[in-house]
Amino acid sequence: MNRAVKRGALMIGSAAVIAGVASAVWNRRDPLDLAGKVVLITGGSRGLGLALARAFAKYGASIAVCARDQNELEVSKRDLANRGADVLTVVCDVSDEAQVGHMIAAVIARYGRLDVVVNNAGVIQVGPVEAMSIADFEKTMNVMFWGTVHTTLAALPHLRRRRKSRVINITSVGAKASIPHLVPYSCAKFAAAAFSEGMGAELQGTGVKVVTIAPGLMRTGSHVNAEFKGNEDAEAAWFSVSASLPGVSMAAERAAEQIVDATRFGYSERILSVPANVLARLHGVLPGMTIDLLGMAGRFLPKNRPQAGDTARALENPWLYALTTLGRHAARRLLQPGM
């Protein structure tokens, strides 16, 4: 009996591998042509969202971007229009279901169609979990989980009308292994990844392909707008340096290229950067060991000594200023406020 079960499991596993390879080969033969398509990007006024808007526009797609700040949207619209893109901007808080409905209606009213939705909007708090409030957890869930759910469900009827369409969910390596001092962020990303994978399975055969993206650290310049809790200066220092160093972090433009590639070819999942792949694979095989290793690394992170400080001034320390050079350059390129 045990041999029969093992033989059956082996056959199922082999069939799954063959099916996965066949799917990848087929998708490579039949990519989505983005020319003339309409791509909606949430949180698209700056950072990775802006890099994605620029990248999709290069393929001839019309771009719709949403954000909560009208001024930021106007700046990003000029940037994209100057690059030859056809752009619609919509003020929208994706945590508000009604606002999302109005946003989708605005896109359809302008273009008459919707082909690709990129759920990218996000917030991040950095600090030990005991420095976080319930409101911090609620905020991350509202934007990165409920924002993804609201936008996907509102867009789905329009996506189903296309022969081929995509939902791209930007999660994180933090959705593979929860990272110390980023616990609210990781919780929201885990939830978003579960939604993404479940929707991907349910929509098989409908023409709507769901792609789960799991980046590691990226040089998007977002560290200048992160919220720091606990020992704020020390938290800002380690996170900003980590999000700026090459090898540890990936350039946002390179990440955007890989995400557009995953969109065109309809990959179910794409993990970005070597460090993120190593962490995700290790956690998949040895979760207990991964938690222990992350715990050891967490011991070197700042202790929870509440200390409100001027984090921008703290990063002007000559050593930290030098180590965050690439991060500052990314912040300027990607229109981060305050840069």
pLDDT at residue 310, rounded to an integer? 64
Judged against a pLDDT cut of 80, whether residue 17 lies above it is answered with no
**284 token code pair:** 């998949």
Q: Given 59, 111, 185, 321, which residue is catalytic?
A: 185
Name the nearest CA neighbour of 172 among 98, 254, 41, 269.
269
Strand positions, DSSP E, 181-337: 208-215, 218-219, 227-228, 250-251, 269-272
Judged against a pLDDT cut of 70, whether residue 33 lies above it is answered with yes
pLDDT at residue 126, rounded to an integer? 97
Residue 189 to residues 9, 140, 159, 221, 286: CA-CA distances in angstroms? 31, 9, 23, 20, 20
Q: For 28-42, 100-114, 305-319, which range has the lowest pLDDT when averaged over its residues?
A: 305-319
Average pLDDT over residues 130-148: 98
Number of residues that make up the chain: 339
pLDDT at residue 312, rounded to an integer? 63
Average pLDDT over residues 13-42: 71
pLDDT at residue 1, rounded to an integer? 45
pTM: 0.90
Task: Tell me the domain boundaries of the chain.
Answer: 31-333
Q: In the beta sheet, which residues pair with residue 166?
A: 116, 209
Average pLDDT over residues 260-280: 97
Residue 194 to residues 50, 76, 178: CA-CA distances in angstroms? 25, 31, 14
Average pLDDT over residues 122-139: 97
Judged against a pLDDT cut of 80, whether residue 219 lies above it is answered with yes
Average pLDDT over residues 3-15: 51
Contact 61, 116 (CB under 8 A): yes
| Mean per-residue pLDDT over the chain, rounded | 91
φ, ψ of residue 58 to 5 degrees: the values are -60, -25
Which residues are CB-contacts of 135 (< 8 A; sequence separation ≥ 6)?
none
Q: In the beta sheet, which residues pair with residue 201?
A: none
pLDDT tier at 2, thresholds 50, 70, 90: low
Judged against a pLDDT cut of 70, whether residue 20 lies above it is answered with no
Q: For 70-79, 135-144, 219-228, 304-313, which range has the lowest pLDDT when averaged over its residues?
A: 304-313
* CATH class belonging to 31-333: alpha beta
Q: Is 185 a catalytic residue?
A: yes
